[in-house]
Structure 1
Amino acid sequence: MTIKSRLLAAALALGLSQPALAQARPDLDPAMWVVKDADTTIYLFGTVHALDGKGDWFNDEVKTAFDRSSELVMEIITPEDPAAVAPLLQKYAIDTSGKSLTSKLSPKHQAMFAAKLKEMGMPPAALDTFRPFFAAMTLTVLDMQKLGINPELGAEKVLTKAAKERKLTIGEVETMEQQMAMLGALEEKEQVRLLEKTLEESAKGKEILDRMMSSWGKGDADGVAKLLNETNTESPALYKLLISDRNKAWAQWVDARLDKPGTVFMAVGAGHLAGPDSVQRYLKDKGIAAKRVPAS
């Protein structure tokens, strides 16, 4: 959440998930926008990458837009074969410096890290061979699991299943390797800062998660933006890398896709469609209007 939520999509793509949970069905109304020209329609849907399955969001205007679409585009396509991830872990996640992960943390955060590993039932050196960004990803998913949040019920999983049933074209705006390379390219001090913030946020994870889920389920883009702005304040470099630079690139993708006829359902993390550096903001800079789709 805040910083931690920015790692979740990449973590889930690496197969760091858990078994499915039972579902209940109160109605949710996440935010969605639409971009159109004479022969192209692109829906912009803000997702949450892991959910508890207690609410029904794939209905009403979201389902109507999806049913009208002939193409699903997501941040990345998760490989079905976990073995495909192993080379990426070896290339980007393993620390070859010979310096342990724990030794890179401040004494305060060393103690927090040791306590977190013990809480999760992991040996003290379980993550010492990994780079800090990957340790932060791992702890993020473990915290999600502890709070009952399931990647298998996340929006991308639900949409992918529905797209395959309809035999839709499924595309991506990034590859898993691009995401891993992006995180791996962070300066080590920023990676360490990311891990330390992840440890700090872990203690108030449920509170932040509740805020995120409430804002998303009500279609409250301003609420999502507020959480996003906290990330901006905490780590401007990480915000630029994970949010503003990518949003600018994705707006360029939308602009180019408008040149090709068809209807596209584009599903990316809700944080990318909120705040002062949203995809919609960069589309506006290009003279392209994104209109909010009203909730039913």
Structure 2
Amino acid sequence: MRRIASLALASLLALPAYSASVWKVSDGENTMYLGGTLHILSPQDYPLPEEYKTAYSQSDALVFETDIAALSTPEFAQKSLQMLTYGEGGSLKDDVSDDTLKQLETHLAARGVPVDRFMNLRPALVGISLSMIEFQRLGLTSQGVDKYYYTLGMGDGKAMHYLESPEQQLTFISKMGEGNEDAYVSYAIEDVKRMPEMLGDLKDDWREGDMASFYALSMEEFADEYPDIYDLLLTSRNNNWMPVLTDLMTTPETEFVLVGAMHIPGDTGLITQLKAKGYSVEQMK
């Protein structure tokens, strides 16, 4: 694992030959912008790199992973509870070992959270909740790139499109760890323990658009150890999105597509797939 350079040292170093996680996609006639997002940031991460502003200003429409407004509705909250908790029909104890439960209890105790609060959560929600607790401890309390541009786009009257429904996204999430629950929860605990040392480098790679480093740091081990989950959450969804993106490339409007940065690199990432379709994909600088 790479060490995180201090802010003082980083300010003395020249930036690498990258800019931001924003790409211009073109077929010679029509244009689309692709922006990698982090879904939650700290106040210090703003303002965003200038390339995001450029892509936004030159776009007629915004394209998000899903309908952001719908994620805040009571109906979606109820559906999430139904799919991500056990309700009256079971407990986390049914799906994970005593050793893993002890790991979870020890980890949560260090953060002042009783393990009983997690016993009704299915493994997928355990992993999400562990990450959210760690994000708050690390000062990530602000809206991410997608929510920021959703709010801005609403105010500016931009047209908006979505790559999948909230229900589809929830289905993907709910299947995390399915059939391998014990190993998934154990991995989630160890993963959040590494978050403090990884976060600085991860955000640097994102801001600089260094997708090779971003992949190596945050995705390569995950892809190797949990290929089924990687395929479910990333490869399958990327494949599902490609017909939508190719359809958008036939319209005269210019779209700014904003998706989680993990969807962009790798052999099945959107950049590779767009290039395979014959599009020109140029990183903005």
Same fold (TM over 0.5): yes
What's the CA shift for 1:243? Answer: 1.1
Identity of aligned residues (%): 25
CA distance in 1, matches of 2:161, 2:181: 29
Indicate if the aligned counterparts of 2:36 and 2:261 stay in contact, CA closer than 8 A. Answer: yes
Q: Deviations over 1:204-235 (max 9, x none)?
A: 21012222112112221111111211210120
**RMSD, matched Cα:** 2.3
Among 132, 137, 151, the alignment partner of 1:141 is 132
> Are residues 1:53 and 2:43 paired?
yes
- Amino acid in structure 2 at the alignment position of 1:78: I
Counterparts of 2:255 and 2:30 in 1: how far apart (Å)? Answer: 8
- 1:27-74 CA distance string (max 9 Å, x none): 994221111235531100111111112134535222111101111111
Partner secondary structure for residue 146 of structure 2 = helix
Deviation at 1:195, TM superposition (A): 2.0
Match of 2:99 in 1: 108
Secondary structure at the counterpart of residue 104 of structure 2: helix
The aligned residue for residue 271 of structure 1 is: 262
| Residue of structure 1 in register with 2:151 after alignment | 161
Partner of 1:244: 235
Letter in 2 for 1:166: D
Aligned to 1:36: 26
What's 1:221 paired with?
211
Secondary structure of 1:121 counterpart? coil
- 2:61 corresponds to which residue? 71
Report the residue type matching 2:92 in the other structure. L
* Structure 1 letter corresponding to 2:253: G
Taking a change above 3 Å as real, the CA distance of residues 202 and 85 of structure 1, as seen in their structure-2 partners, is same
TM-score (normalised: structure 1): 0.82
Q: Distance in 1 between matches of 2:183 and 2:46?
A: 36
Bigger Cα displacement from structure 2, 35-44 vs 197-206: 35-44
Map of 1:235 onto structure 2:
226
Other-structure match for 1:189: 179
Deviation at 1:186, TM superposition (A): 4.7
Give 1:199's match in structure 2, choosing from 172, 182, 189. Answer: 189
- Give 1:179 deviation, angstroms: 1.3
| Superimposed CA distance per residue, residues 61-120 of structure 1 (whole angstroms, 9 cap, x where no aligned partner) | 221111011111111222364423222123311225833203422333211111233234
Match of 2:7 in 1: none
Shift in alpha-carbon separation, 1:40–1:91, aligned structure 2, 3 A:
farther
Classify 1:68/1:124 alpha carbon distance in 2 versus 1 (closer, same or farther; 3 Å): same
The counterpart of 1:209, out of the listed 199, 224, 238, is 199
Question: Do the aligned partners of residues 284 and 193 (structure 1) sit closer, same or farther apart at CA in structure 2, a change above 3 Å counting?
Answer: same
Deviation at 1:284, TM superposition (A): 2.5
Alpha-carbon distance in 1 for matches of 2:63, 2:182: 32
Report the TM-score, using the length of structure 2 for normalisation. Answer: 0.85
Q: Find the aligned partners of 2:178 and 2:49 in 1 and give their Cα distance.
A: 43
Contact 2:20 2:49 in 1 (8 A): no
Question: Deviation digits for residues 270-290 of structure 1, max 9, x if unmatched?
Answer: 111112221121223322232
**Residues of 1 paired with 2:263 and 2:121: CA distance?**
28
Aligned partner of residue 35 in structure 2, secondary structure: strand
CA drift of 1:175 comes to 1.9
* 1:143-170 alpha-carbon deviations (Å, 9 max, x no partner): 11111112x3311121112112211012
Partner of 2:273: 282
- Write out the 4+ residue segments of structure 1 that deviate beyond 6 Å after TM superposition: none
Aligned residues: 268
Q: Give unpaired runs (5+ residues) of structure 2.
A: 1-10
Distance 1:184 1:35, change over 3 A: same
Indicate how the Cα distance of structure 1 residues 252 and 158 shifts in structure 2: closer, same or farther if over 3 A, else same: same
